[in-house]
């Protein structure tokens, strides 16, 4: 459904602490049926790099998203392109990005309760201007604010989940269609 509406990538939450967790066998079954040019990204949290590489290969992923406390050295151990997530709060130090090489940055909202998927945004004005076109933006993105995001922040991509769900892990067809109708129109207008 998401691909038919215009999604470029699909994420598979492979952390069993998430309400959106999917078993590797189930993720592999879905990935095997996806079109070749769709990005298939596994989301991992603080597990051994060897296990990430093994799981990614077994499932057929072509990208890895890291949502834990992975250090810069860890990135070089991953065999696929990496998206490194950072949880942003008002005191976040953006200079730490300089230590991370060979990855794309995903910025999400900081929460004491969970490491992602909060459905809430952070203060986007904190993002340094030079980083805005290089990031993937997550947290609180929906049909109601995607136009503001694309016109003012202009990230290279957006990552959303909870705003398109009826319950955690279950996409709502009406919400998906509504979001992509707006998103696809804006992409065409802004190009």
Question: Could you state, in chain order, the average pLDDT of each consecutive group of 10 residues for the chain (191 residues)?
Answer: 95 93 97 96 97 98 96 96 96 95 94 73 95 95 95 95 90 96 90 65
Length of the chain: 191
Residue-level pLDDT at 103: 96
Domain range spanning residue 10? Answer: 2-190
Residue-level pLDDT at 188: 85
By CB neighbour count within 10 A (0-12 exposed, 13-18 middle, 19+ buried), where does 4 fall? exposed
CATH number at residue 11: 3.20.20.70
User: d(Cα 163, Cα 170) in Å, to the nearest integer?
Assistant: 11
Residue-level pLDDT at 158: 97
The number of distinct structural domains making up the chain is: 1
- Confidence (pTM): 0.94
- For the chain, how are helix, strand and coil distributed in percent, rounded to 5? 35, 20, 45
Residue labelled with tokens 């834990």: 68
The two beta strands, 39-44 and 136-138, are unpaired
- CB-CB contact of 141 with 162 (8 Å): no
């Amino acid at each position: 459904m998401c691909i038919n509406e215009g999604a470029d990538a699909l994420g598979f939450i492979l952390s069993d602490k998430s309400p959106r967790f999917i078993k590797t066998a189930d993720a592999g079954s879905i990935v095997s049926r996806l079109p070749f040019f769709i990005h298939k990204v596994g989301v991992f949290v603080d597990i051994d790099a060897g296990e990430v590489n093994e799981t990614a290969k077994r499932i057929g992923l072509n990208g890895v998203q890291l949502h834990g406390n992975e250090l810069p050295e860890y990135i070089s151990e991953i065999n696929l392109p990496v998206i490194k997530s950072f949880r942003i709060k008002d005191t976040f130090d953006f200079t730490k990005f300089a230590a991370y090489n060979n990855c794309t940055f995903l910025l999400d909202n900081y929460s004491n309760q969970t490491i992602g998927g909060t459905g809430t945004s952070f203060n986007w004005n904190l993002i340094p201007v030079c980083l805005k076109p290089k990031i993937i933006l997550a947290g609180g993105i929906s049909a109601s604010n995607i136009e503001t995001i694309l016109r003012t922040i202009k990230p290279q991509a957006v990552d959303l989940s909870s705003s398109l769900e009826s319950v955690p892990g279950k996409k709502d067809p009406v919400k998906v269609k509504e979001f992509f109708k707006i998103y696809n129109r804006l992409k065409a207008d802004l190009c």
